[in-house]
A and B are shown apart, each in its own frame.
Chain A
């Protein structure tokens, strides 16, 4: 973990309430896709944990949905610096993926899968992607995944774009996938868990105090014992997950 100041280079909407922010700073502690950063904002006590969308050299890209006071404040930022803790969380382990991989993202669960897809493609793997949204106007990053060379299927709940329904309705498009990685709302994760027989890795979300393993605010039970979502996660393997909620 590192604490450093990042300079805001870009901050623009991708959809009505999803924004992309590019920041310049010390990215050296970000070592795996699926990690997150924790951002200090003026006047707010707790930092805001946001997943890493991409890192290129000293440029960090995050994508966030405006859901409350913190992200309302962030969307207005045009320049200046942010105090950010980097290198948080375990991230996805690509060594277990095999050659034919499926990535499944729902809503603002999509962003961390981009850096993962880049890594998997670089490792020479075949990458299929399912991106799930509620409706066409919420779709983002479809072209970016295609540009990496991924085979992309979009699903929308109302059918206004791509396959109608949930991400699980598109699983049959990828019959050869032997391993998967996912991030999204918990009901989606659970549905995917029940709909697939292959192994995979899930990224979870929880309200956090510190984000680096000190406060035990985000603990969960797993088959491998109690884990902290922020430090021992946010990525858990399918085989260890216990669904409680």
Chain B
């Protein structure tokens, strides 16, 4: 602790040497570098003795805070847009910002990510326009970003299916000889606690393990598979399942952006160096509903939500920035204003998204079209024109 440190405002105050071993004596068995109160832990030990630490500049700390706030604000705007009938559905990431921003910022440009439908924070970190998933949930396009350009696959709605895609992709990376050095490529597959019960995910574990695929399995354990609690998913902590498949597993505080970054960066480097897959269990909590079609008050109690409220990822980062005097008074107001402006901008663009023309469904079936489709398109256009007031 910094207690007794006479350094006052000097930077040395931040160096609060303290090591915490994960899983040493049972609880808490997670890697943590920033406590819910905003205290920094200099080094954390994983269950296999790996030392985790981060060394960020002040600007990088501020950047992480900005990411967390922006991601939360944009997500809240999307939820509001659904309630106003502008989106068909939305899966909120509320509460999981740190796991997503931490892991998303740990990715290098060459690394490939395979998301679920909730990885809006990772998408943001990959530099994709946040309006992209809104088009999907508004039902006007299929997603719209180029997975190869941004190294971020399309959202996968089927639970756990993307882990198979990621495993195959990672095996391909290894076969192409792109691993085995500092600049190697790594792949990350996102999924949730519920997906760990899927055959797909377990098959991915087997294949990634025996083929030594350069893959990081990043499980955001948000405690609920829609309404089904974790104890209906597993009898052992999820990260320990990796041991049975023959690769390392670690549990990280998923509400701690610094630890999420450190653990992911290490696992990605292990993968890119050709040392095979690993499993990260980011221990977090879904503060909102599963999706906008869900009512969490039907299956979980308010006191549990309140307990997790106290572990909020943004609040602890704010406390840390204030304690370490990394920011001045106006910083938080500036970030809030930036987030507000971006969310208003996002809203305006969503409301102006054009509905697709029904005939456009014929456009992307074959790269060079076909005579049969051309005929279908012509007939369909004729049919659409038979309606009154039809602009189609």
| Genuine A/B complex | no
- Chain A interface (Cβ within 8 Å of chain B)? none
